[in-house]
Amino acid sequence: MEQTLDLPSSASGKGFVRLGALSGVLLCILFGMSLALGVVMLSPERLLTAIVVPASDPIATAILFNIRLPRTLLACCAGALAAFATLILSRIAGDGEVHDPGWSGVMSLSALGSIAAFTVTGNMQWAMPGALIGSGVGVAACIVVLRWLPRTRQRRIVGVSIAMLAPALAFALLISDVRVATWVRWSLGSLEQRDWQTWSGVWVLFLMTVPVVTGSVAKPGLSWMRYAGATLAVAAVVVAVGAIGWIGQTAVRLAGPVATSGIQQMIVVGLLGAVLLLGVDLAARGATMLLPSPGLVSEIPAGALLAVLSVGSFLIARIRK
């Protein structure tokens, strides 16, 4: 029997169109801001010149195509996939709750798997297989917790415990080699120095993930496809930007009242996930320019801001209750 999320719904086609259109407009605005803003500001004229006549402004062209474009595209793809992973995990649970892979411990275990593979082999190419293994273990652990713990509070405690313990283990693996920056990028989540080289290691995983995720949402009755879709989506996000939370749960909750079918949910949730991660990345870059240098990393991790947003949203929800 097909399972659907038991979220508040007005079954409004107009609401779906409005939210989708608003998300698309916001995504276009944030995409342009992400390309223009940074240590070196690129005016609209310089951006247009770099696109149309790249040879006339080689500095702007290099900044645009070598630094900001791959980072912006990764933020869009990772945000959308984080939202898809949340949607699939919530379908697996089937309890009407929204299960974020970041705060369920799934992404943390995927990041731990990638760091363990990198530490053992000394080769970053093994990070993707390690992320897949860790993601599969994380999804399986999430399913076991859902089946064996009947209370939502118990599940959240276990998920948060895993989400905190896995980064601690990853830190222990990397601290001996003083690779704290690597730990920050994987376990906290960061788009710093994410360029075309990152794309070379993740584009195959993206291509594998999209059809499986689409099938997981379109045909939720296939349990093996849901498991595979969640595993691939989480691993793709971790390889692209590291372990991040809050993005998926927020996108799914915002889309719940207006998106009723699987296709509608995919469209709106994907757009919202991309918008949220792009916005948080811009906020992290802006905070880096205003605040003192973090020290071991040159940029405040986006995952640190997401952790603050997660705690803040949780406290607000508890206060409202």
* Confidence (pLDDT) at 10: 45
Q: Please say if the pLDDT value at position 250 is more than 70.
A: yes
Residue 296 binned pLDDT confidence (cut-offs 50, 70, 90): low
Looking at the structure of the chain, the number of domains it has is 1
Whole-angstrom Cα distance, residue 288 to residue 260?
A: 39
Q: What are phi and psi of 12, to 5 degrees?
A: -105, 115
% pLDDT > 70, the chain: 91
Whether 8 maps to a domain, the answer reads: no
Whether 1 maps to a domain, the answer reads: no
Radius of gyration of the chain (CA): 19
DSSP 1-65: ------------HHHHHHHHHHHHHHHHHHHHHHHH-SSS---HHHHHHHHH-GGG-HHHHHIII
Residue 221 binned pLDDT confidence (cut-offs 50, 70, 90): low
The tens digit of pLDDT for each residue in 201-215 reads 888 889 889 888 888
pTM (two decimals): 0.88
Whole-angstrom Cα distance, residue 237 to residue 229?
A: 12
What number is the average pLDDT over the span 32-59?
90
Q: Which CATH number belongs to the domain containing residue 22 in this structure?
A: 1.10.3470.10
Neighbouring C-beta atoms of residue 291, cutoff 10 Å? 9
Whether 2 maps to a domain, the answer reads: no
Considering only residues 182 and 28, tell me which one the structure prediction assigns the higher pLDDT: 28
* Confidence (pLDDT) at 32: 94
Place of tokens 């006339």: 56
Residue 50's contacts (CB-CB under 8 Å, 6 or more residues apart) are 42, 57, 60, 61, 63, 64, 65
The tens digit of pLDDT for each residue in 99-139 reads 899 888 899 999 999 988 888 887 878 888 999 999 999 99
Residue type, 127: A
| Helix (H) and strand (E) counts in the chain | 13, 0
Whether 168 maps to a domain, the answer reads: yes
The tens digit of pLDDT for each residue in 66-108 reads 999 999 999 999 999 999 999 999 888 877 788 899 888 899 9
Whether 5 maps to a domain, the answer reads: no
Please state at what angle helix 69-93 crosses helix 223-241, rounded to 10 degrees. Answer: 150
* Confidence (pLDDT) at 96: 76
Whether 3 maps to a domain, the answer reads: no
For 208, the domain range is: 13-320
Q: Please say if the pLDDT value at position 4 is more than 60.
A: no
Q: What are phi and psi of 231, to 5 degrees?
A: -65, -50
